[in-house]
């Protein structure tokens, strides 16, 4: 990470004045419960729905994709806006299809997709209706790509969400006229709220760039609540401030490329979700010289470790210059989709399972789903576990504590029963090795009550 970037990140908590918290509902009359007893964090339906989405696709795509050197290319190459924006002349978007993107996401088991409607370079993929000349209507692409994305997602049953940068390298108002810049930002978000039908959520990024200003979050978030009350509000606090709640309207905290932490209690008043965003190599926008790709196995592990703490995984792909998702990411994600299908698919623990009170050892963990529990067993073979450091733990006894009562344990992948021993609050599951032909990276045992 550059020094520059560190400085930006250090400012992550610059968000000002917290506004009003969600109002607690009164306890139902006649229950005898005092207000105090009933004071539980409120779970908004939009947050509950988001938690069950589990897995989403992040898309970083814009003018920079033509340079193939990541979404920060303008900044690191010290390009002036006038020079950089020449890329608008060759922005054709001939390979961009919201429908196709949504198909890739759905095939991977992803239930939502978050597209960069505008990134830090200041270029918008949508028709800003005169708010800025730096938008897609001034390129040969000549079509509103946010509209295409949103419609394509809806057609495939994938929830569309929009990433919005809050910092801008091209708009001089960002440095010179803060009030006017704030108005521009809000007008832009208002367009996104009012022109494209229901949007699943707004994902803000960039408040870490200035700590000397008032980000006027009450006004920005207030307009989303007004126009799109069901939309999630997310604000990326940056790599070093993952899991921080900067405003009471935030519905989900972010963990950028980190290991997500449990988020219970981050707000005493409302249930806040968690989302970890990660990318296939070290860049978000396509970088043709970055060969440092994650494997499907690694993505499966990341997904499981997110779900372990009730967080979602937002996995990034950087479409190529034309807007097409590259072959590697497409293929790798399909393999992740196969893993999910083998482990209960849409009705399985990956989406609907919640972190259990029961505990495993090391990376092993448990999710509860209704009356069933699911024990996730990691590191069965050396080659399975790309995240784990050190030796694989292999087949054999795995200890869990405080499991809820259950009658039998079976592997989800082949239905084989696991031998059990119980002693007080301690249960040992005897994890068998993979049968020949199988290596699911993380093996899951279903624990069913009689």
Site of interaction with ligand GLC (CB under 6 A): 60, 71-72, 205, 236, 238, 256, 277, 284
- Judged by beta carbon, residue 287 or residue 409, the one nearer ligand GLC is 287
Smallest separation (angstroms) from ligand GLC to the CB of 122: 13
In the complex, least distance from residue 1 CB atom to ligand GLC, rounded to whole angstroms:
10
Residue closer to ligand GLC, measured from CB, 253 or 409: 253
Nearer to ligand GLC, 235 or 373 (CB): 235
- Contact assessment for residue 287 and residue 70, using Cβ atoms and an 8 Å cutoff: yes
- Cβ proximity to ligand GLC: between 60 and 393 the closer is 60
Per-residue H/E/C for the chain: CCHHHHHHHHCHHHCCCCCCCCCCCCCCCCCCCCHHHHCCCECCHHHHHHHHHCEEEEECCCHHHHCCECCCHHHHCCCCHHHHHHHHHHCCCCCCCHHHHHHHHHHCCCCEEEEEEECCCCCECCCCCCCCCCEHHHCCCCCCHHHHHHHHHHHHCCEEEEEEECCCCCCCHHHHCHHHHHHHHHHHHHHHHHCCCCCCEEEEECHHHCCCCCCCHHHHHHHHHHHCCCCEEEEECCHHHCCCCCCCCCCEEEEECCCCCCCCCCCCCECCEEEEEEECCCCCCCECCCCCCCCHHHHHHHHHHHHHCCEEEEEEECCCCCCCCCHHHHHHHHHHHHHHHHCCHHHCHHHHCEECCCECCCCCEEEEECCEEEEEEECCCCCCCCCCCCCCCCCEEEEEECCCCCCEEEECCCCCECEEEEECCEEEEEECCCCCCCCCCEEEEEEECC
> Using CA atoms, how far apart are residues 231 and 241, in angstroms rounded to an integer?
23
Q: Could you tell me the smallest distance in angstroms from the CB atom of residue 6 to ligand GLC?
A: 12
Cβ nearer to ligand GLC, comparing 148 with 256: 256
**Nearer CB in complex with ligand GLC: 135/205:** 205
- Pair 104, 330: CB distance under 8 Å: yes
CB of 121 to ligand GLC, least distance (A): 10
Between 311 and 418, CB nearer to ligand GLC? 311
- From 169, 172, 205, 210, select the one nearest 189 (Cα to Cα): 205
Joined together, the tokens standing for residue 15 give: 């968000």
Nearer Cβ to ligand GLC (316/427): 316
CB closer to ligand GLC out of 156 and 275: 275
220 vs 358, beta carbon nearer ligand GLC: 220
Q: How far is the CB of 71 from ligand GLC (least distance, A)?
A: 5
Q: What is the phi/psi pair of residue 235, to 5°?
A: -135, 115
Q: How far is the CB of 119 from ligand GLC (least distance, A)?
A: 6
Give the residue with the Cβ less far from ligand GLC, 272 or 377: 272
Asked whether 238 and 9 are in contact (CB, 8 A), the reply is yes
Q: How far is the CB of 336 from ligand GLC (least distance, A)?
A: 19
* Minimum distance, C-beta of residue 212 to ligand GLC, in the bound complex (Å): 19
As measured in angstroms, the least distance from the Cβ of 223 to ligand GLC is: 22
In the complex, the smallest distance separating the C-beta of residue 124 from ligand GLC, rounded to whole angstroms, is 15
Distance CA 327, CA 421 (A): 46
């Amino acid at each position: 990470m550059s020094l520059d970037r560190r400085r930006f990140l250090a400012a992550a908590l610059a968000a000002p004045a917290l506004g009003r918290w969600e109002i607690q509902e009164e306890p139902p009359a006649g229950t005898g419960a005092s207000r105090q007893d009933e004071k539980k964090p409120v779970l908004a339906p939009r947050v509950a729905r988001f938690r069950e989405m589990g897995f989403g696709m992040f898309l970083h795509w814009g003018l920079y994709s033509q340079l193939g050197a990541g979404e920060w290319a303008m900044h690191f190459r010290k390009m002036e806006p006038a020079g950089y924006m020449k890329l608008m002349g060759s922005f054709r978007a001939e390979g961009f299809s919201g429908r196709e993107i949504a198909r890739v996401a759905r095939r991977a088991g992803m239930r939502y997709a978050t597209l960069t409607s505008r990134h830090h370079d200041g270029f918008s993929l949508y028709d800003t209706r005169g708010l800025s000349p730096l938008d897609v209507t001034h390129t040969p692409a000549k079509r509103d790509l946010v509209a295409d994305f949103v419609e394509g997602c809806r057609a495939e049953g994938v929830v569309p969400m929009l990433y919005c940068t809050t910092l801008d390298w091209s708009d001089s108002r960002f440095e010179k006229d803060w009030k006017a810049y704030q108005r521009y930002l809000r007008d832009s978000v208002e367009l996104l709220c009012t022109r494209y039908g229901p949007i699943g959520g707004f994902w803000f990024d960039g408040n870490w760039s200035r700590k000397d200003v008032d980000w006027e979050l009450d006004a920005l978030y207030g307009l989303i609540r007004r126009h799109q009350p069901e939309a999630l509000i997310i604000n990326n606090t940056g790599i070093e401030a993952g899991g921080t709640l900067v405003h009471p309207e935030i519905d989900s905290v972010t963990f950028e490329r980190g290991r997500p932490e449990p988020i219970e209690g981050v707000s005493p008043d409302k249930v806040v979700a968690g989302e970890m965003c990660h990318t296939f190599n070290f860049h978000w926008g396509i970088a043709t010289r970055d060969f440092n790709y994650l494997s499907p196995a690694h993505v499966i592990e990341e997904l499981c470790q997110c779900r372990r703490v009730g967080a979602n995984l937002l996995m990034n792909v950087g479409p190529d210059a034309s807007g097409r998702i590259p072959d590697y990411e497409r293929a790798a994600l399909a393999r992740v989709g196969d893993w999910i299908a083998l482990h209960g698919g849409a009705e399985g623990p990956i989406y609907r399972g919640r972190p259990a009170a029961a505990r495993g050892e090391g990376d092993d963990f448990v999710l509860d789903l209704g009356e069933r529990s699911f024990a996730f067993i990691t590191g069965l073979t050396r080659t399975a576990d790309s995240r784990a450091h050190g030796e694989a733990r292999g087949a054999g006894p795995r200890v869990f504590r405080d499991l809820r009562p259950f009658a039998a344990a079976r592997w989800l992948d082949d239905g084989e029963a696991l031998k059990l021993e119980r002693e007080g609050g301690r249960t040992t599951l005897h994890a068998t090795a993979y049968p020949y032909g199988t290596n699911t990276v993380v093996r899951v045992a279903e624990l069913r009550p009689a």
